[in-house]
Amino acid sequence: MCGIVGIVSNKSVVKPLIDGLKSLEYRGYDSAGVAVINDHQPINIKQVGRVELLDQEVTHNDEAMNAIIGIGHTRWATHGAPTTINAHPHSNSSNTIFVVHNGIIENFKEIKILLENEGYKFISDTDTEVIPHLIDYYLKTEKTFKQAFTRALDDLHGAYAIAALYTKTPDSIYVARLSSPLLIGIGNKENYVASDASAIINHTKQVVYLKDYEMAVLTNKSVKIHNFKRKTEIIPKTEELDFDLEKAKLGNFPNYLLKEIFDSPETVRLASAGRVRSGSNIIKLGGLENVKEQLKYIDRIVIAACGTSYYAGLVGEYLIEEIAGLPVEVQLASEFKYRSEPFSRSTALIAISQSGETADTIAAIKKVENYGVLKLGIVNAIGSTISRITDAGVYCHAGPELSVASTKAFIAQVTVLTEIALSLSNGNSPLFKPLVDELSILPEKIVSILGQSKNIEQLAKKYSKYKDFIFMGRGYAYPCALEGALKLKELTYIHAEGYAAGEMKHGPLAMIDANFPTFVIATDSTMTDKTLSNISEIKARGGPIIALVSEGNKSIKSYTDDVIYVPKTLEQTQPLVVATALHLFAYHMAMALGRNVDRPRNLAKSVTVE
Ligand code: F6R
């Protein structure tokens, strides 16, 4: 999704601006641009495609290179095609105001018509372009740029993080947010603004997170914040960024995706550290301490999330119901927010999100705000919006996930959900001790799956010619099948579906023939025999079969074309080993097809719009 970075300094800002944009590349984008002011003269340079191209153009511009104030943007097209004209920054007609924006201005058409009636001319298809023109309009009556900016903000509906420059106040960046992340970095004789900490982490760890309806004016000496709805000054609360640059480095891996899949064993360790201890009958979840008493009265849990986080939630449903005996319902956040369903104060909402910035998941949390529902988060990105708007939560501690496809975050989310299920069981489940013991040895089991990467690569080469795939499983293997299908489709663009194995006869079996392979997850469980029957039904229709089974299952070979063995583990921890194998399979399929595995087409890392 779109990314913002802005810097005001006493030395050239161009290189750090471009570096900031490069560190936002992982979010997915199709064009990029910067606007800087040098000696009251604006320079606005935009490019379709890689930031590298923008870099070349900007660094050859001597005027731009001398600028000590600037804003930059990576755009992921929502309104209008990815073209230079639609790229940000956008400006007013006299080129005195420059704006970059993340989010969506929902009432931009109405504003555009009003401004057109006032004689304003628009050149792009974007919603963003209304902002500089609207500020320009208010500048005709307001005394200062800040006042005109605030008047414009009052008119905007939707979600936004905005950074703006005005050539007549060339020492200030004006920023504001509503439902879209924005943070201010405090430096030494320079200050920064960014939509994502990764863009400024090289310069400072001291940050102020802007809240909804807050705007700020940044110079190289000061940061002044005020709430434009309540019209009050805000005293900036500086926090220290918890972001490990080392962990985000590629090392010897060819891409972030493979690195992050190989991070999986460590991810389980990090998500369990200090929380799970073999031999102890308590799970220590510090983030839930302050709601310990409320949790005693919870009799229903609703989990809301999107994509891979939603599938982790489905695993969580099985875990919490089986281990803690509490009813759980998992909902797609994008559906949940528009549903009219009854809530009671004894319901807890768990929002799951790697980025902590997913617009639909944030909306789901906001929806229950007036019901007295306990709002919990399972979030990876520390300090993100979801971590701040929930009452309590458990961090995943998976470290930065830069590849667009979520892999290690799924592993961390499922580990945390296992811990929450154990914690809610108050040590009363017969599964408590076996699970606690298993979690401590699980990283080694995942390491052994990673050791099969070469075999899985061979398998992927054989299967990459197919155009359709079905993934199926029962029980805990069912959400894994959904995750396996999602990962395959997003990384390879091959059509893939995930199904509960028991549903095959209710429709999907009709698709099976020699050109339609099935990936069956049939790890040891009470339902393995039933899954074997489903495999036979597919075999009888000539469908190629890859089976993922537990080590020691010798009979499976006679039923299937290819087999991936994973170490034996408890049924409840199988998703952690199974998902790692599925992630590797999707990875090698994508590599066999020559895909850009870190940045699949059309996708963005953090989906901050509906
Ligand atoms: C799939 C993927 C997405 C995300 C989804 C939610 O590999 O990455 O489906 O899982 O966009 O994102 P978060 O977890 O950041 O809320």
Which member of 2, 306, 396, 480 is catalytic? 2
As to burial, measured by CB atoms within 10 angstroms (0-12 exposed, 13-18 middle, 19+ buried), residue 196 is buried
* CA nearest to 34, candidates 67, 1, 11: 67
Same domain, residue pair 93 and 223: yes
Mean pLDDT of 414-432: 96
d(CA 425, CA 419): 10
Same domain, residue pair 456 and 438: no
In degrees and rounded to multiples of 5, residue 575 shows phi and psi of -55, -30
- Residue with more model confidence, 290 or 198: 290
* CA nearest to 208, candidates 189, 185, 191: 185
Confidence of residue 26 (pLDDT cuts 50, 70, 90): confident
Same domain, residue pair 269 and 235: no
Average pLDDT, the chain: 94
Pick from 352, 358, 416 the residue to mutate for probing ligand 1's pocket: most ligand atoms within 8 Å of its CB. 358
User: Residues 256, 598: contact at Cβ < 8 Å?
Assistant: yes
Within a domain: residue 605?
no
Confidence of residue 586 (pLDDT cuts 50, 70, 90): very high
Ligand 1 close to Cβ of residue 313 (< 6 A) = no
Q: Which pLDDT tens digit goes with each residue over 293-327?
A: 999 999 999 999 999 999 999 999 999 999 999 99
Confidence of residue 459 (pLDDT cuts 50, 70, 90): very high
Residue 374, domain CATH: 3.40.50.10490
Within a domain: residue 38?
yes
d(CA 270, CA 434): 20
Ligand 1 close to Cβ of residue 351 (< 6 A) = no
Within a domain: residue 425?
yes
- CA-nearest residue for atom 9, ligand 1, is 307
Ligand 1 close to Cβ of residue 406 (< 6 A) = yes
Same domain, residue pair 77 and 198: yes
Within a domain: residue 39?
yes
Q: Has residue 280 got a pLDDT over 90?
A: no
d(CA 303, CA 319): 12
Q: How much is the pLDDT for 246?
A: 67
Please say whether the dihedral angle defined by the alpha carbons of residues 420, 424, 429 and 432, taken in this order, is positive or negative: positive
Q: Has residue 84 got a pLDDT over 90?
A: yes
Which contiguous run of DSSP H or E holds residue 174? Answer: strand 173-178
Among the residue ranges 312-316, 477-481, 537-541, the one predicted with the least confidence is 537-541
Within a domain: residue 606?
no
Listed residues 382, 411, 443: the one ending a domain: 443
Q: How far is the CA of 500 from the centre of ligand 1 (A)?
A: 21
Q: Has residue 28 got a pLDDT over 80?
A: no
Q: Which pLDDT tens digit goes with each residue over 502-512?
A: 999 999 999 99
Q: How much is the pLDDT for 189?
A: 95
Within a domain: residue 171?
yes
- Full residue range of the structural domain in which residue 91 is found: 3-241
SS3 per-residue string spanning 438-503: HHHHHHHHHHHHHCCHHHHHHHHHHHCCCCEEEEEECCCHHHHHHHHHHHHHHHHCCEEEEEEHHH
Same domain, residue pair 36 and 148: yes
Pick from 403, 607, 608, 609 the residue to mutate for probing ligand 1's pocket: most ligand atoms within 8 Å of its CB. 607
605 noted as active-site residue = yes
The pTM (predicted TM-score) of the whole model is 0.83
Q: Is 224 helix (H, G, I), strand (E, B) or coil?
A: strand
Confidence of residue 337 (pLDDT cuts 50, 70, 90): confident
Report the percentage of the chain scoring pLDDT > 90. Answer: 84
Q: How much is the pLDDT for 174?
A: 98
Same domain, residue pair 416 and 460: no
Q: Which tokens sit at 436?
A: 């606690």
Q: Which residue has the tokens 């007609």?
A: 93
Within a domain: residue 600?
no
Confidence of residue 610 (pLDDT cuts 50, 70, 90): confident
Q: Which pLDDT tens digit goes with each residue over 94-123?
A: 999 999 999 889 899 999 999 999 999 999
**Cα angle 577, 579, 583; round to 5:** 125
Listed residues 189, 219, 241: the one ending a domain: 241
CB atoms within 10 A of CB 112: 18
Ligand 1 close to Cβ of residue 353 (< 6 A) = yes
As to burial, measured by CB atoms within 10 angstroms (0-12 exposed, 13-18 middle, 19+ buried), residue 279 is exposed
Report the percentage of the chain scoring pLDDT > 70. Answer: 99
Same domain, residue pair 439 and 460: no
Same domain, residue pair 65 and 201: yes
Q: How much is the pLDDT for 194?
A: 97
Q: How many domains does the chain have?
A: 3
Q: How much is the pLDDT for 216?
A: 98
Q: How much is the pLDDT for 198?
A: 86
Q: How far is the CA of 199 from the centre of ligand 1 (A)?
A: 20
Same domain, residue pair 217 and 282: no
Residue 11, domain CATH: 3.60.20.10
Ligand 1 close to Cβ of residue 307 (< 6 A) = yes
Q: Has residue 243 got a pLDDT over 80?
A: no
Within a domain: residue 604?
no
d(CA 91, CA 94): 8
Listed residues 208, 241, 274: the one ending a domain: 241
Same domain, residue pair 435 and 455: no
Instruction: State the chain's maximal CA–CA distance in angstroms.
Output: 81
Same domain, residue pair 228 and 263: no
Q: How much is the pLDDT for 443?
A: 95
Beta bridge partners of 36: 43, 70
Same domain, residue pair 206 and 98: yes
Q: Has residue 412 got a pLDDT over 90?
A: yes
